[in-house]
Every structure is written in structure tokens, then in C-alpha cells.
Chain A
Amino acid sequence: MNLAVRDLRQHWGRFALSCLGVGLLLSLVLSFAGIYNGFIADALALIDSSGADLWVAQKDTRGPFAELSRLPDDVRYRIAVVPGVREASPYIFYTVQRPWQGRLLRFVVVGYDLGTGMGGPAQVVAGRGIGQAHYEMVADQKLGLRVGDVVHLGLHDYTVVGLTRGMVGSGGDPVAFFSYQDAEEIQFVKDNWAIRNARQRALAAYTQALPTQPMLVPGLVQRFADNPELHNVNAILVRLAPDADPAAVVAAINRWEYFTASTTAEQSALMLQGSVALARRQTGLFRVLLTIVTTVIVAQIIYTMTLEKLKPIALLKLIGAPNRLVTGLVLQQSLALGLIGYVIALVVGNLTYDKWPRRVLVGLPDQLLLLGIVIAICLVASAMGLRKALRVEAGAALVG
């Protein structure tokens, strides 16, 4: 006969509510682990799916993700002939926010070379990949576009030909893939209104300056020129030859080409040391606080449940119950509370993670870690109740 179960049978409604409360708290603890994992997955999604071995950025920058890097797109040809390089490919990465059908679309523009495919979508879950050099795009499902939708960007309309899943930037914004030529245009080519506006301003400045300050005119013309630097990219992606030594290729590029090259592993580390490290500390601290709060709440529930049973416990001692029976009663109820709460946390989590605005990734290690934490919480939380239960005298049963 299990006394813990018999006692809970009488207060099952209140116990169920307590389990629900603890379960929701634990689901938050688990969610924060998942949010942290999501940060990492989001941060590394583009790097991992790029298929590149090396990343070449502007000299002395850590681009393209950690900071702004800009270099001419024809650098790819110089990089491609470095010994050990199999192929090199331009890469563009920036965030835009544009109106579309009454709402704002915020997304990361990724431009890649259709020939090598490096930096492009790793997997298309609907439609197809980009099949022509211009006016097609592949968007992540999270952006809310469908295959066949047309989005006006800069001077042109782009048709969504395919969809990806789980492709987001480090900030959680969905990615839209374009050919790098289109990505350059979207970024640098002004639309017609902007061009007309610039011309008006140039004309006004020219008209004003010409009679009195003719020396200024060449500068004004240069300043208002329409598209001074169209052919810039943010990085060159490199795929190495099978027998190439990555360190040697990096050293060669850094020394002779006056760029900064890094391996994919280094790019990943840069990402994780930057914005993700701060998020990790933030979520880590929150998890610790939530765990402490959960411990306190479980302790309070167990303590209150024990206080309510002091007389029956005294009676059990009076009729000769050993301490292990009393300890078992308190500990089993505590563990039942924790483990049922844990199951609720898993169920709630699995039902809700898809609905969170950012990716939440909870794996088996996180679940097992939480299980360990829950058991530890229950044991710690039982301490106060156990102390009270073990100290109650058998004679207390005789007090009316």
C-alpha cells in the first residue's frame, strides 16, 4: 500500500493544479534551453548550409555576418586561382524591410552565384530553386510568401519560385535567396523615384553653383551620380580542392591578396562569440532564476502538504512506523509532483514550440538535463518538509 498515492487520492484536484503550475514553470525552463539552441541554430544556419570551406572578406574585417565587409565581385577570379582553391563564389548578405500588399516584409537578402550554388538554399521544400540569373527568388516559409507571389524590390519585380524551411539570419529574420547580380541591384540600384529625385537635386545644386562657384560642379556631378559602386559583394565563398590545406590557403589569401580569409569553423566561432554569446548569458541567467523559483515553489508546496499531514505522520510514528516510511511518503509526493510537472512541461513544449516567434530547439540532452534538474529540485525541496516530518513527535498524535 502506497501512502503517498493514498494521500494524493484525497487531494487530487489541488495536486493536479500544483502539477500544472510546476509543469508550466518547467516548460519555461525547457523553452529557454530551446531558445538558446535556436539562437545558435539561427546564427549558424546560413554558414552551415553555405557549402563553403573558406570565407574571404574585406581586409581587417570579420564579415560578412559579424561586421560590414565590402569587396568587388571580380575578386572571385583572383581568389579562384590561389593554389588549393577549387572554386570561388561571390556572396551578398544584408537585411531589408519593404512594404508588400499592405504589410512590411523584413528579410535577409542573400545573393549567391547560381553556377557554384555556394551560399544558396540547401534544400527547397516547395517549388524549385532559382533557374535563371534574374527576377527569381527563393524565400523562407517564415516570410509568409507563396510560390508564385511577386515582390517589387528596387527597379524590378521578383517572382517567388521556391520555399525553404528554417533558413533565417542570426537575428531570426527569414532569408530570401537571389542571384548575386539581383542582390547587388536590389542593394545599390536606385529606383526611378530616387533617380529622379537625385537628378532634381543635382540640377538645383548645379544651377546654383555654376554662375558663382564653377569649381564645385565636377564634385556635385560625382556626388549625385546614379550608381557609383554597383558591383560590390560582402564576401567571397571558397570551396577547397580535396587535398588542400585550409590553413595554407588562408595564409596565402591573407598575405598576397590583401583580404581577410577565415575557415567556416572560424566564421561559426565568430558568430557564437558575438551576438549569440550575450544571448546565451541572458538566457542562461534566466534559466537559473527560473530553476530557483521552481525549487522554491516546489519546496513550498511540499512543505505545505507535509504540514497538513503532521498529525497522521505522528500517528504513524505512534503505531511504530519507521522513518523510511515517513521519508518515503514525503519524497514520493515530491517526486510525483516534479515528474508529472516534467511530463506536462514536455507536452506543453511540444505543442507550442512551433508557435514561438523565434526558433525553439529542444533536444534529448536538454530533456534529460531537465529531468536531472527536476529530480534534484524535488530532493532539495523535500528537505524542509522532511525535516518537519521527521521531527514531529509520536505524542503529537494524542493532542486533540
Chain B
Amino acid sequence: MEVVHIENLTKVYGEGHTAVTALRDANLTVRRGELTALLGPSGSGKTTLLTSIAGIIEPTHGRVCIAGTCFYDNGWRVRDLRKFRREHLGFIFQSHNLVPFLTARENVLVALQINGVTGAKAVRIAQELLDYLGVGERQSHLPEKLSGGEQQRVAIARALANSPPVILADEPTAALDTERGQSVMALFRQIAREKGSAVICVTHDHRMIEGFDHIYHVKDGRVSDGQQTTER
């Protein structure tokens, strides 16, 4: 079942002779439970593609559909992108991006609260996710007291809090050593398999490409056809 469908997506920054085309007619399809990598050097356009999927930047033209809903379609976009994001997307970044004044548990709770889940139910979900990711013991610590790997696990727990159909990860292993990076990738695989979320991961870390279901190469704003790496 397709959860991400991108069609002829183009993004041009600037106008006239200063215009820079960051993305050219990109096409991408991701299915439920798949682990997809966007691979490419710096400046190739992979982050532009990811942020377009996230609705953070507005494409110049093309179409972006998540879980059957097109939130951008050649100049038209849904009115409330933030609502769309909180219902459909989870985010994980290179720099962990936890709210610094919230504890690990509160970082997960805030994502639930934003989506209207509060009280004992929210606490139970947060506790289960943190336990699932192996940081349940560290739930009352502020991000500054957590290691890089622990912070990344809390960020993953937050991304999973609302059971989104799609998780977008931008260089999630770049700040981690190989062992911790592989541990995070193993988690992504586990999440894709057990939770059914599609994980789209921007990376130029070749150490981590094993285990992706699809790898898309991004170069000069062009996205190559998906390369299936595993038998499904």
C-alpha cells in the first residue's frame, strides 16, 4: 500500500538568472512498512526533497501525497499544514532536536498533547515507547543529561508517539558512532516491520545503507529510480 507518492516534484530557489533548481521532476513512491534511503552528496537536493515531503518548504510544482491525501498539488496546498504534519508525519534529525527544557518523557508527551492525547493515556503511551526503545530508565532526565544515542532514541519515540504512517529522518546517524548508528538503523527496521510505518531516511552515510528496502540516489536535484535492495 502506497503511503508516499511524489510526482514531478520541482523546487526552484530564487528567480531569473539567480534561480537555482534544487529538485527537478522528482518521482518517488514509498509503501507501508518500507525503509527507504535518499542517498546523495551534500547539496544534491535530498534535504529539499525531504522538507518538501514534510510540507516545510513549498515546491515550485509537482504533487506530494501522504497516506492517500495530496497536501500539495501544483500550487494548491492544504490550509493547515501543521495539522497535516502532526497527523501523518514523524520527524527525526541529525541533531536529535529534543526540546531542551523538557525531560525525555515530556518530549514524547508534548507530541501526544499536540495531537490531543493527554492524561493517563498519554503517560502510558510515552512510557511504553520509551521502554520499547530502551530508554525507559532515563525518562525523567533532561536532554542535556542523555548521551547522543539516548537522545536519538527519545527523538524516535517522539516521532512514533502518534503512530504516523510516515517517519522522515534527516541524517539520523550522522552524529553517532558506527555501533550506535547501526543500533538506530536496526530500530528503524524494527519500527517499519512492527509498527508498519514507512521510514524515509536522508543519509550520505554509506555504512548504514544495508538493510534499506529501497535506495534513491539524489544528484543535482534529480532522483534516480528506486533500487530495491531486499527481497520482500
Query: How far, in whole Å, are A243 and B56 apart by their CA atoms in the complex?
Result: 84
A393 at the A/B interface (Cβ < 8 Å)? yes
B87 touches A398 (CB 8 A): no
Q: Contact mask A309-328 → B, CB, 8 Å, 1/0?
A: 00010011111111001000
Contact B86 A400 (CB under 8 A): no
B190 contacts the other chain (CB 8 A): no
Interface size, chain B (Cβ < 8 Å):
29
Which residue numbers of B lie inside 8 Å of A, CB to CB? 47, 51, 54, 56-57, 82-83, 85-87, 91, 93-95, 97, 99-102, 106, 109-111, 113-115, 142, 158, 170
A320, B86: Cβ atoms under 8 Å?
yes
Known: A316-B99, A319-B114. Is A397-B82 also a contact (CB below 8 A)?
no
Tell whether A312 pairs with B99 under 8 Å between CB atoms, given A320-B115, A393-B56.
Answer: yes
A103 within 8 A of B: no
Interface flags for A358-400 (1: CB within 8 Å of B; 0: not) read 0000000000000000000000000000000000011101101
Contact (A319, B56) CB under 8 Å given A9-B101, A398-B47: no
Q: Is the CB of A318 within 8 A of B106?
A: no
In contact, B101 and A319 (Cβ under 8 angstroms) = no
Known A1-B113, A3-B110, A6-B101: A319·B91 in contact at CB below 8 Å: yes
Chain A residues near B100: list those with CB within 8 A.
10, 312
The count of A-to-B residue pairs whose CB atoms sit within 8 angstroms is 67
Query: Which 8 residue pairs of A and B lie closest in terms of their CB atoms, listed nearest first?
Result: A320-B86, A395-B56, A7-B101, A10-B101, A320-B85, A312-B99, A320-B82, A321-B114
User: How many Å lie between the Cα of A342 and that of B100 in the bound state?
Assistant: 29
A320–B158 touching, CB < 8 Å: no
User: Residues of B contacting A397 with CB < 8 Å?
Assistant: 93, 97
A397's nearest neighbour on chain B, judged by CB, is B97
Chain A's closest residue to B55 (CB) is A394
B51 A319 Cβ-Cβ under 8 A: no
The docked-state distance in angstroms from the alpha carbon of A400 to that of B42 is 14
A86 to B142, CA, bound (A): 82
Nearest B residue to A400, CB-CB = B95
Question: Which B residues lie within 8 Å of A321 (CB)?
Answer: 82, 86, 110, 114
Q: How far is the CB of A179 from chain B (nearest CB, A)?
A: 72
Give the residue of A6, A316, A317 whose beta carbon is less than 8 angstroms from that of B106: A6
List, in ascending order, chain B residues with CB within 8 A of A395's CB: 51, 56-57
Closest to B111 in A: A319
For residue B51, which residue of chain A has the nearest CB? A395
Q: Which residues of B contact A393 (CB under 8 A)?
A: 56
- Contacts A/B (CB < 8 Å), 20 sampled: A1-B106, A1-B109, A1-B110, A3-B102, A3-B110, A6-B101, A6-B106, A312-B100, A315-B99, A316-B99, A318-B54, A319-B91, A319-B114, A320-B83, A320-B85, A321-B82, A321-B114, A322-B83, A395-B57, A398-B51
* Shortest distance from the beta carbon of A304 to any chain B beta carbon, whole Å: 15
A318 touches B91 (CB 8 A): yes
Q: Which residues of A have CB within 8 Å of B83? A: 320, 322
Given the contacts A315-B97, A315-B99, A394-B82, A320 and B114 also touching, CB distance less than 8 Å: yes
Contact of A398 among B82, B93, B101, B113 (CB under 8 A): B93
Minimum C-beta distance from B159 to chain A (A) = 8
Chain B hits for A318, CB < 8 A: 54, 56, 85, 91
In the complex, which residues of chain B have a beta carbon less than 8 angstroms from the beta carbon of A9? 101
